[in-house]
Chain A
Amino acid sequence: MIINLILNVLVQAVGVIFSPFPAVTTLPTFGGPDIDALLVSTMGQLNKVLNVFWPVKILMQAFLFLMSYYAGKLVLKLFLGSRVPANT
């Protein structure tokens, strides 16, 4: 309860900072092409291919996992600077 209370307070505090911003539902469009629609249709077609070539699908999932790990590291580094764990 205590740990969770601290976490919730932190989330609410950070939430207050971001509360004026609207939720992002689509990616922004630069110039002509609708990037969001383009990505959605491209990923749909890619999924269609990957469902048949399933080893590539697993590779893609692992790649996304690694990318999210490195993205998480970047976020931590943004907040903690050089004190971040796994600071290579």
Chain B
Amino acid sequence: MKYTKYVKVLAIIALFIPVSAFAISQVGVNIATNGTVLNLTFPCANPDIGFAMHWAGGSVSTSNNDQCIMYADRSGDNLEAHQTGDGNYYYFWANNDSGTGGTNMGDSDYYALVYRTGGAWFSDFEYVGNKTVINTTTPTDKSVIATSTSNTFGATGEIIEDDINSGSKLTIDIINSVGQLQNCLDAICNVGYLSGAPDFLQAQSIKFHFEYPLVVKGPWSFSTTTIGLLPVGKYYVVTKILKGTFCLFGFCAYSSPVVATSTSFTISTTTKFDKIKDTLQAYQNSLIGTTTPFTACAIATLNLGDCLSDFVSYAFVPTPDALQYTADAFKQEVLIKPPFGYVTRLFTILSSTTTAPLPDASFPVIYGDDNTGAMRIATSSIFQPDEILTGGGALLDSMRDPVYGNNIQDVFQPIVSDIIWLMAWLIVIMDILGSHKHR
């Protein structure tokens, strides 16, 4: 009898939860996967109002600010919600960094995208698996931009701790179809061509390269300064997250891509003014040139010493971009072909950071005799090394010092890493120095 009041309280809660859940989910977008239902409700036609979200795997948690960006902590749903600038896309992903409580249920492995087309909302789920991702790129893929519009490039995404070292960075490369020697034969590229414009205008090779260091795990966002106006044509954008390999004291011998995306956009001419401006700009470029390294050689700003220095430097010293291009070409032309291709493939597999779950060990278990005296044999999976490793690793990570909040790995990994790499480099240096000894 003494438990009666607790039973009443539980009964009231049990009645309240289904009612509230139904009220929220009935106009939402239901996304079901892995036995978990994510109900998203969108009275967010006006991004300034905000929206409510309910995840059936956890408790109801809603929050918003004037930018319609919601952060629900782990005690609620452990989901972060972000909205892109145009208000037509929302994406959510699990955040393992903050909060406690709730059931994880593999939710960190999924990425929800909710988007609006023609006034209707649609949803999609993508597997993320707690990995480094590029979520959005600017300009958006296959967008058409007027020549009178200034351009800005950027990207957003997330990077995990394993992919962060001194060589981690975001790179954005933009090149037009002329630069790719495709001669703009496809229909999209021809859309914006200038009628009667001189050939050199249509033969400009445009290349941009941007780099942005990634030093902190979690979401990142990068945007260039305004680039200005671009000539007509089709442009290809390759966005990569690179991770340094063979690093010592902050210097990395190589950079290998962790993730990469390829998008494109088209610059099209829309007005007569645009055509006139492009034509004049093209004439100016053809007469004066746009190569900035040789500004010291221009008559107006002539500096003979700098001019000669620039000439010698650019004539004989390859730029990092040029060397990277040559190295990439060497890889594509030679290193992936037999017989070197087998070594490259082997090295790619050996240097991969992708993880796979360890297999469970199943074997027969003999139970004791029952009432009849018979022995029963049943197959049971009782040894799960993956669970043991995951749990053990999480336990180790959770043990942190009370002052700085660092765990064992945070404290000792830099020291151990430096010692091991120092030894590796010493072996190489001793091998090189000892190679010329007289025998």
Which A residues have a C-beta under 8 Å from some C-beta of B?
Answer: 1-4, 7-8, 11-12, 14-15, 18-19, 21-28, 36, 39-41, 43-45, 47-49, 51-52, 54-55, 58-59, 61-62, 64-66, 68-69, 71, 85-88
Contact = CB atoms under 8 A, between A and B. Distances in A.
Secondary structure dominating the interface of A: helix
B209 to A, nearest CB: 15
A47 B322 CA distance: 34
B356 A55 contact: no
B349 A86 contact: no
B346 A23 contact: no
B33 interface: no
B257 interface: no
Contacts of A25: 345
A23 B337 contact: yes
Contact of A47 (B356, B393, B420): B356
Given A24-B338, A24-B344, A62-B421, A11 B352 contact: no
A85 B356 CA distance: 40
B413 interface: yes
Contacts of A28: 342
A20 to B, nearest CB: 9
B424 A65 contact: yes
12 contacts: A14-B334, A15-B333, A18-B333, A25-B345, A36-B345, A44-B356, A47-B352, A47-B353, A48-B356, A48-B357, A52-B396, A62-B421
Contacts of A19: 333, 337
Given A28-B342, A48-B357, A15 B329 contact: yes
B421 A55 contact: no
A48 B389 contact: yes
Given A11-B334, A66-B424, A69-B428, A51 B393 contact: yes
Given A4-B322, A12-B333, A62 B420 contact: yes
A88 B355 contact: no
A28 B349 CA distance: 14
Interface in B302-320: 314-319
A2 B416 contact: no
Contacts of B245: 61
B420 A7 contact: no
B401 interface: no
Contacts of B358: 45, 48-49
Nearest to B319: A4
B316 A21 contact: no
Nearest to B422: A62
Given A62-B421, A69-B428, A3 B356 contact: no
Given A8-B326, A52-B393, A62 B424 contact: yes
B434 A88 contact: yes
Contacts of B289: none
Interface string B413-433: 100110011011001100110
Contacts of A64: 347, 350-351
Contacts of B286: none
Contacts of A45: 355-359
B392 interface: yes
B246 interface: yes
A66 B434 contact: no
Contact of A65 (B246, B319, B431): B246
A64 B256 CA distance: 15
Nearest to A26: B345
Contacts of B341: 21, 23-24
B313 to A, nearest CB: 10
Contacts of B319: 4
A27 B245 CA distance: 23
Residue in B337, B357, B427 with the greatest tally of chain A CB atoms within 10 Å: B337
Contacts of B316: 1-3
Given A58-B420, A65-B424, A85-B432, A44 B329 contact: no
Given A12-B333, A27-B346, A47-B352, A52 B392 contact: yes
Contacts of B352: 40, 43-44, 47
A88 B362 CA distance: 51
Contacts of A26: 345
Residue in A11, A19, A86 with the greatest tally of chain B CB atoms within 10 Å: A11
Given A48-B357, A48-B358, A88-B435, A54 B409 contact: yes
